[in-house]
Amino acid sequence: MTITYLKKSKPRPSMENADLRDTVSIMLANISKDGEEAARRYAETLDGWTGAIVVSEEQCLAAAERVSQELKDDIRFAYDNIRKFAEAQKATMGECEVELFPGHIAGQKQIPVSSAGCYVPGGRYSHIASALMTITTAKVAGVEHITAVSPPKPGQGIPDAILYAMDLCGADLILNLGGVQGIAAMAQGLFGAKPADILVGPGNSYVAEAKRMLFGEVGIDMFAGPTDTLVIADATADPETVAWDLIGQAEHGVDSPVWLVTTDKQLADKVMELAPKLAKTLPDPNGQVAAIAWEERAEVVLCSTREEAAQVSDRHAPEHLHVQAADLDWWLSRLSAYGSLFLGEETTVPFGDKSSGPNHVLPTSGAARYTGGLSVHKFTKTVTWQRCSRDAAQELALRTARISRMEGMEGHARSAEQRLKLRPVELLKSG
């Protein structure tokens, strides 16, 4: 087995940030204490927003009027794909009922959560797609009340295109709030929101920390780290296409890892030559960000066989995994740890990020080893139920009581044995 690192990333700085944790903890405590007043104060201080927090229907309609028809069509195209895929996922979620032994029946139900809070990032990029991915999926799952928040721009509020997407997808309440205050408002049910059962959507480190601290009190989609992408390529791949796919993802942030795992040394050398040059062609700050990410976070791994390449990929468990190699069916069958898989040079991670259908809220930092991305399943509780006849209850009572006493749980045993005192069915029928 020969695995060679032609390029290695620099050591990552510690993810521990006591100042960030303290800041978020204080903000959550203040909002818990002072409610809407504190949330408004943070919106003014941090985002320069002094306008209304709740977005009205009239404002949604006005925003839609300002969005070009071409962009509306693009957003609806993406919305339709995301909705159809979520509907297909929901169709796989079955309910069941089984008689485990005569007279004892157990079953499974799928129940959507009552309320969800969807966070749509703002800042350097206007994440229209995040509104589509989170709100649409919650709606398809059957969530009764959906609150959506996004950072407002001073004097403007939520950008028109994001607002149009939020409204199109069916958000019941939209708030001009970002950051920790937006997360807290959804969790606590401020400004007319229904307290969220689950909080979803990507955000900056403060948003991620707020979700982490609130986890348990509410559900969350996942703990998010920097976005990451791994490309597997062989001699059939085009070096420039591979280089662009890596650099395109590197523009997310200077701490966004990208990996190339290849069985072809010539392709590896060409990609390493092209990638920094392509980064320089991007407008700044994107170009600067991508160049730093490539220099500090990129790795290029040369493997002897495709099995070695698959093993390297599975160890990384990337958020996005793109295979540009021969025999795609083999890779689809073999690979086992990724957030979302892209097969062939005809597709690309940006398709999934923006419009192709499968959700782009995905596990990062190796979490794809044990979980998948956002889906209708995240908004749905799989619950169980059972009932039994009086005859079946006798059998269950005897066995349960014996197991309980062996465990030292006498109360459980006596509770079970109460069922032995139930009147037989024959006596019930005879009155």
Considering the domain architecture, whether residues 62 and 181 belong to the same structural domain is answered as: yes
Sign of CA dihedral 24, 161, 57, 45: positive
Query: pLDDT of 205-249, one tens digit each?
Result: 999 999 999 999 999 999 888 999 999 999 999 999 999 999 999
Answer yes or no: do 114 and 169 share one domain.
yes
Residue 11 domain flag:
no
Are 262 and 300 part of one and the same domain?
yes
Residues 397, 366 share a domain: no
Are 157 and 55 spatial neighbours (Cβ–Cβ below 8 Å)? yes
Please give the residue range of the domain that contains residue 263: 226-372
- Active-site residue among 209, 252, 316, 319? 319
Q: Other C-beta atoms within 10 Å of 127: how many?
A: 25
What CATH number corresponds to the domain at position 232?
3.40.50.1980
Q: Is 296 exposed, middle or buried (0-12, 13-18, 19+ CB in 10 A)?
A: middle
In a domain, 99, yes or no: no
Query: In 152-201, which ranges are continuous DSSP H helix?
Result: 160-169, 179-188
Between CA 291 and CA 80 the distance in angstroms is: 35
Q: Is residue 354 part of a domain?
A: yes
pLDDT at 18: 87
Q: Catalytic residue among 316, 320, 322, 360, which?
A: 320
How many structural domains are present in the chain?
A: 3
Beta bridge partners of 5: 301
Same domain for 163 and 274?
Answer: no
3-state helix, strand, coil in the chain (%, to 5): 50, 20, 30
| Res 269: pLDDT | 98
pLDDT at 127: 86
Whether 6 maps to a domain, the answer reads: no
Residue 12 lies in a domain: no
Measuring CA to CA, how many Å separate 380 from each of 109, 140, 374? 10, 11, 11
- For residue 12, the model assigns a pLDDT of 75
Element (H, E) at 429: helix 425-430
Q: Is 321 domain-assigned?
A: yes
Same domain, 210 and 62: yes
Q: Does 13 fall in a domain?
A: no
Please, are residues 378 and 93 in contact by the beta-carbon 8 Å criterion? no
Query: Domain check: are 250 and 301 in the same one?
Result: yes
- Give the DSSP letter string of 216-281: TTBEES----S--EEEEE-TTS-HHHHHHHHHHHHTT-TT--EEEEES-HHHHHHHHHHHHHHHHH
Residue 228: CA atoms inside 13 Å, Cβ hemisphere, count?
25
Is 360 labeled as catalytic in the residue annotation? no
pLDDT of residue 429: 53
SS3 387: strand
Are 245 and 164 part of one and the same domain? no
Beta strand 219-220 pairing with 229-233: unpaired
Q: If you write DSSP's letter for every residue of 54-67 in order, what string do you get?
A: BPPHHHHHHHHHHS
**Site of tokens 């606590």:** 188
**44 lies in the same domain as 166:** yes
Same domain (yes/no): 203, 351 = no
**Which helix (H) or strand (E) element contains residue 133?**
helix 128-141
Same domain, 348 and 414: no
Q: Which residues of the chain have pLDDT under 70?
A: 1, 13-16, 125, 423-431
Judge if the upstream peptide bond of residue 283 is cis by omega within 30 degrees of 0: no
Domain co-membership, 77 together with 171:
yes
Last residue of a domain, one of 187, 220, 253: 220
Considering 220, 238, 253, which residue would you say is the last residue of a domain? 220
Task: Confirm whether 238 is domain-assigned.
Answer: yes
pLDDT value of position 11: 84
pLDDT of residue 427: 45
Q: Looking at residue 225, what is its pLDDT?
A: 87
